[in-house]
Structures are given as structure tokens and as C-alpha cells.
Amino acid sequence: MKITFPHMGNTYLPVKAMFDDLGVEVVLPPKNSKKTLEIGTKYSPELICLPMKINLGNYIQSIEKGADTILVTGSCGPCRYGYFAEVEKEILKDLGYDVEFVILEAPDGDLKEFYNRVSRVANTKNMIKIGKSLKNGIQVLRKLDKFEASVLKLRPYEKNKGEIDTLYKELIKNLEKSTGSSQMIKYIHQAQEAIKDIDLQKDRDVLKVGIVGEIYTIIEDFANIDIGKKLNELGAEVHKSHTTSGWVLEHLFYNSIGSTREKQVRKAAKPYMKTMVGGHGRETIGNTILYTKEGYDGVIQIMPFTCMPEIVAMSILPKLQQEYGIPILTLIIDEMTGEAGYVTRLEAYIDLLRNRREKYKNEKMLSWR
Amino acid sequence: MKIGIPRGLLYYYYYPLWTKFFETLEAEVVVSEKTNKQIIDYGVKNTVDEACLPVKVYHGHVIALKDKVDYIFVPKIMSIYKNEYICPKFCGLPEMIKSAVKDLPPIIDTTIDFHKSKKNLPKTVHEIGKIITTDKKKIDFAFREAIKQHESYKAKIKDGILPVDIEGNKVFKYINPYKYRQKIVLLGHPYNIYDKYLSMNIIEKLRKYGLEVLTQDSFDRNIINKKAATMDKKMFWSFGRKVLGAAFHAMEREDIQGIIYLSSFGCGLDSVIADIAERRTRRSSEKPFILLTLDEHTGEAGIDTRIEAFVDMIKWRGKNENNFSTYGEYISTR
């Protein structure tokens, strides 16, 4: 059995660490590229969202490399994500590929089936061993997410441009060639120490931008044309409202722990959206409000074309923009999105935020109150 | 008290129930006029571009009603069957309406959520009814009457009468199935196929070609559910389950000549359902399948041409194909 799984940001590294710990062979799909998207777009339904098109591209590229089992997480609607695997099965069948899907979910609450599936891909029935590797994998994931967050926060302040990027790239390279979680954690710790030593110019006038929207397009930098780095270069620190570790913790342990941020987000969203609408539509609303209250200069919503929950959120955002007085930009991504047009919009948006800040400063200075 | 019901989305499934309920409670029910160009324009102007056509049209209906009534009934429909949903846009509909349309009368946006069970049904009904009366017995009575109306509506549709043939409580067109020799299945969301303006009257067009039109609502519920359950994973959208079940059933029925899927541009559900239906039809049946996509551009000629071509093919097959189907197999010497 040769397992593969789709790309989503840096998640492939912790997943690889976990399988390394278990001693299971995995086939990593080639990094997301134009080719991945081209393959995915060619065979996917026209109006399906971008994440599935990229996923399908990942699978086909992995199958060509020898993978025969596809591992994905599950969900039960109402967002389309829960039915991706079923459509993909049909497509791969029509293309003549013989692969098996293992979907990590408990169908109709059947926990036994869930454990069956887990032990099949883990190649062991030893739940303690599985639990331990899972725990280690999650640890790598959390630390890596934390590191990425600090990159997005610190990059606009660095004195010598490019230092953080070099460090980040070095880390990813090291993680890619390491086996097992302990080795990865060592490298992440090293990088965490190294980032503290980078010269920063803290008095720079840097804007703060929060990213909300659909989780895949937020996390996967190929899909969002590396929005974090682009905004950093335009002089804004960036916070992404979703991380893979957040998602994993929420879905695997939400009932037992119940993260406080999650509750805050729901509470904030309530006056505008009283129930969930699938995907992360409610979180988009809630996070926008929280960012506003935390003094961010702007919020960018990012989503794939035809994403249902985000369209609901998008219809409500103008109201928030009005009531909270924060500029919100919506970016819709599909396979036709061109980089130049996208950058132009980001530049214009950042200009707007900067002008607002200047204006606000002057107002404060000239005000008699 | 005047209660407005927009003629869109789930209207075509539930209007007898809703109107009877409110009328029994002695409220006056005002239904928006049939979809027309103006209503579509209202909707298109007042929604985000990315919203799907039926949601835009629904906004248009709300706008057409808002100055004429005291309340507008826009329930927040999360789920109508156990372990199933409708579509994320239905879940957020009242919120979308409230942020897009200005100067609205109060909205009755009761949450209808039977995802876990129907246990909350009486509570939900009371919540809607309490806007008109505090008398719970009256509300219960009105709901029982409404259910009766709903059942008789469903029975009519089982008899082969489609929602487009019914106006209010009256059936104005009895279809004689014996008149038609050939049958086709028209699949799609009720708000696309039963809205005469949106669908460009596709049902009548097909009937004029002498075809009997069946929809997912024409089949027995049990058969559809059984067929839909053949998917590896439970289809968690209620419409999806109906449409896929109907498609799988139609593939196997010899008396059905073809399948038409009517979708609207940007429909997230259809990108999944129509694709599976099409792949399965092509893989395991000989039946022709066509996907027609609607949007707010009302050019009818394009749809007409495609329907005509599809019907021509069906007629041609019926006349000729049976006579020489073995031709290729036996004449060849290779």
C-alpha cells in the first residue's frame, strides 16, 4: 500500500513525520504548480471550487508516481468538501485509474469503522502507537503553524530584507529531508531561536491586515498566490484566521476542550449570523469583527469561485464594513486568476489603508477634543 | 395582518402548506407575482455577483413584496430531513436578505432545523404562529390543516401533475400520459425547473414536442431513496439525494428515453450532483444526457436550439436505431 494525500500549505510535513514514525511508506505529491492545477482543471467539473481541482491534480500526479491509496479527512456537509471524494472516485474511475480512497471520518457516527480505517492506513492495530504518532504529528503541525505565523508577523520589520525568507526556506528544506517527528521538532526549535536573532526595525509604520475566508485558499499559498508574502512586502503584517492545526484540534478534540477563540468568534458573529452556514462562513463574519476590535487596519476575505458558505458571508460583509468602518476586500480565486491583476488590487488596497491611517493620524492631531 | 411569501426557492414545494397555515390563522397571505424580468433585475441589482440565480431571484421577490405586507416569511431552512442539509445559501438566507435589502418589514426568520430529529417541529411551528396569535391550540389546528393541504398537493404530484400545472389550489391542466409515447426525465432543483420564467418554460416546450416530462418528484420516494443509497457515502443534500436517486432510477427504466439536467450557473450543489449523474449515465446506460445551464441573461434561442437538437436525437433513435442496431456487429468481416 502506497499512501498519498493532498497538499494544504505545509501540512505535508507533519503528515510525513507521522507516517515516518509509524513506518508506513507515503508518496508525496509534487509541490503544487501550474501543472497540478492544469491537470485538476482539465478533469474536474467546471464549476467545482478550486480546492478540489488542486486536490485532483495532486492525486493524479501522485498516482503517476506510484501511489495506490488516497488518504483524506471527511466532513458531512453542507459544504461541498464532504463530497469531494465521491466525485473524485467517479473521475478517477472514468480515467481508468485503480485507486482506493480512505476517508478519515466516522460514517453515521460509526466509531469502529473509523478505527478500522485509521489502523488500515497506519498499518498497525496498536492504538497506543497510533495515538503517540498522531500526538507527535500534531505537535510538529502546531509548532510549524506558529513559526509561519511569526514569519507573517515579523517579515515587514526586518532590517535586511530577505533574511527571514532565507531562514524559512532553509527550515522547509531541512524538514523535507528529515525522517520522523523528533528530528523535525529539533529543526523547528532551531529556526525559532534563529528568528529571534534577526534584526528588526520596530518603529516602522507597518499596517495590520487580517485574512478571513475559506480555509484552503487561506492556508495553501499556491492557491492564494502567496498573499501573506505579498502583503508583507507591501508593508503590512498579516494574521491568517485559519491554520491546519486549529482545524485539526477543533475537529478532533473540540468536544473535549472547546477552544476559547472558537467561542469568541461565534459570539461575535451572532448578531449577523445566528447559525452555521457550512464551511467557515460564520467564522469569516466573526473573525472580521474580532480583527476590527483588535485594531487591525483592514480585513481581506479570500475564497474560491462559487464557494457557497463564503458567498453567504460575502453578502453580509458590506454591512460590517459600514458598521465597523473597516475596509474589507474580497478576493475570489479560480484557475483563471492572473497574478498581475491580483497584485494590482492588493497594492490599491494597501494604498487605501495607508491613506486612511494618515488621515486618522492628522485628524487626531488637529482635533480639539 | 398581511404576510408576504416570496415566490422562489422552496415555494414550489411548500406553498400549499405555508399559505394554508397562515390563512387558517386568519392572516392575509400575499404571494409575490410570478417571476418576471423586473423581479430578476431587482434581485441582480441587490445581491453580490457571486450569488446563484435562484438566490438573486428570491431577493427580487422579497423586494417586490416589501412595501405591500406587514411581515415577510423567509424561514432559515437548515435541514428538512434527518442527517441532511439543503444548501449553505439556504442556511444564511434571512441574513443575506437583511443585509442586502433596505427598508424591510419584519422578517419571520424562524430556524427550521431537523438535522438531528423532527422533535422540534411543534416548537418551530409555535414560533412561527406566535406572530399572529398566542393561542397554541389555534396554531396546532392551523398546522394540522396545513399538513392536510400539503399531503393533497403531494398526492397530485404523484399522479403525474407537475407544480407548473397547479395554480393555487386548482389544477388547471390535466396531463394525459397516454397521449405521449415517449418520456424524458427533467432533473434539477425545484426552483429552477418549476419557475416558468427562469426555466424558459422548458416543461411546456418539451410537452409540445410530444414528450411526457417526469421529474424527481414524479417517482416513488422509496425507490429514489434506495437508488440514492447506492452511493458509497450518504448524499447529505436533500435535493442531491432526490436528484441522484431519480437519475439512477431513470437510467434503468426502459420507457425513459433521455435525461435533461437543468442547472443554474454557479450552483455549488449541481457542480457535484450533475457531474455524478452525467458520469453514471454515460458509463452505465445508453440514454442521452444533456446539461442545460441558466443564468440571468435571458437569451431563449440558445436553450431552444439545444432542446430541439436533443429532442431530434431522441425521436431519431426511436424511429431508426432499433432497426439496425446490429448492423456494425455482423457486416464487418474483420
Q: Please write the tens of the pLDDT for every residue from B87-105.
A: 999 999 999 999 999 999 9
In this complex, which of A272, A309, A318 lies closest to B88 when CB atoms are compared? A309
CB-CB neighbors (< 8 A) of B266 in chain A: 47, 306
CB atoms within 10 A of CB B99: 19
In this complex, which of A107, A308, A332 lies closest to B268 when CB atoms are compared? A308
Query: What value does the mean pLDDT of chain B take?
Result: 90
In this complex, which of B84, B100, B275 lies closest to A87 when CB atoms are compared? B275
DSSP lists the bridge partners of residue B72 as B4, B107
pLDDT at B328 over 80: no
pLDDT at A323 over 90: yes
Compare all CA atoms of chain B with the CA of A82 and give the residue at the minimum distance: B236
| Selected residue with higher pLDDT from B161 and A166 | A166
Compare all CA atoms of chain B with the CA of A85 and give the residue at the minimum distance: B233
CA distance A47 to chain B (A): 5
In this complex, which of B51, B234, B274 lies closest to A311 when CB atoms are compared? B51
In this complex, which of A78, A86, A108 lies closest to B232 when CB atoms are compared? A86
Q: Which helix (H) or strand (E) holds B259?
A: strand B256-264
Using an 8 Å Cβ cutoff, are A363 and A249 in contact? no
- Map residue A47 onto helix, strand or coil: coil
| Residue A106's pLDDT band (cuts 50, 70, 90) | confident
> What percent of chain B has pLDDT above 90?
77
| Selected residue with higher pLDDT from B63 and A123 | B63
Q: Which helix (H) or strand (E) holds B76?
A: strand B76-79
Least confident of A111-120, B200-209, B239-248: A111-120
Compare all CA atoms of chain A with the CA of B47 and give the residue at the minimum distance: A315
Q: Looking at residue B333, what is its pLDDT?
A: 43
Average pLDDT over residues B178-194: 88
Q: Name A130's Cβ contacts closer than 8 Å, sequence gap at least 6.
A: A22, A118, A119, A122, A124
Q: What are phi and psi of A112, to 5 degrees?
A: -65, -45
Using an 8 Å Cβ cutoff, are B200 and A41 in contact? no
In this complex, which of B83, B88, B267 lies closest to A281 when CB atoms are compared? B88
| Separation in Å, CA B34 to CA A182, B66, B150, B196 | 66, 15, 21, 8
Location of C-alpha cell 426511436: B318
Average pLDDT over residues A114-124: 88
CA distance B265 to chain A (A): 8
pLDDT at A182 over 80: yes
CA distance A263 to chain B (A): 19
CB contact under 8 A, B283 and A103: no
Compare all CA atoms of chain A with the CA of B238 and give the residue at the minimum distance: A78
| Selected residue with higher pLDDT from B166 and A34 | A34
Compare all CA atoms of chain A with the CA of B110 and give the residue at the minimum distance: A274
Average pLDDT over residues A296-325: 95
Compare all CA atoms of chain B with the CA of A106 and give the residue at the minimum distance: B233
CA–CA separation, A86 vs A66, rounded Å? 21
B316 inside 8 A of chain A by CB: no
Closest by CA position to A251, among listed A76, A46, A20 = A76
CB atoms within 10 A of CB B238: 17
CB contact under 8 A, B271 and A85: no
Which three cell numbers, joined as nine digits, stand for A93? 474511475
Using an 8 Å Cβ cutoff, are B218 and B160 in contact? yes
CA–CA separation, A18 vs A181, rounded Å? 7
> Around A256, how many Cα atoms within 13 Å sit in the side-chain half-sphere?
4
Q: What are phi and psi of B26, to 5 degrees?
A: 65, 35
Which three cell numbers, joined as nine digits, stand for A68? 495506490
Q: Which of B82, B89, B110, B295 to mutate to test the interface with A (most CBs of A within 10 A)?
A: B89
CB-CB neighbors (< 8 A) of A90 in chain B: 275-276, 279-280
CA–CA separation, A289 vs A282, rounded Å? 11
pLDDT at A257 over 90: no
| Residue B334's pLDDT band (cuts 50, 70, 90) | very low
CB atoms within 10 A of CB A25: 12
Which three cell numbers, joined as nine digits, stand for B112? 427550521
Q: Which of A43, A44, A47 to mutate to test the interface with B (most CBs of B within 10 A)?
A: A47
Least confident of A37-51, A188-202, A348-362, B248-262: A348-362
Per the rule left: phi > 0, alpha: psi between -120 and 50, beta: everything else, A200 is: beta
CA distance A85 to chain B (A): 9
Complex prediction ipTM: 0.90
Calculate ∠ Cα A277-A273-B55, nearest 5°: 60
> What percent of chain A has pLDDT above 70?
96
Ordered DSSP codes for A119-154: HHHHT---HHHHHHHHHHHHHHHHHHHHHHHHHHHH
Percentage helix, strand, coil, to 5, in chain A? 60, 10, 30
The torsion defined by the Cα of A15, A19, A22 and A23, in degrees rounded to 10, comes to -160
Residue count (chain A): 369
Location of C-alpha cell 427580487: B60
Average pLDDT over residues A179-192: 95
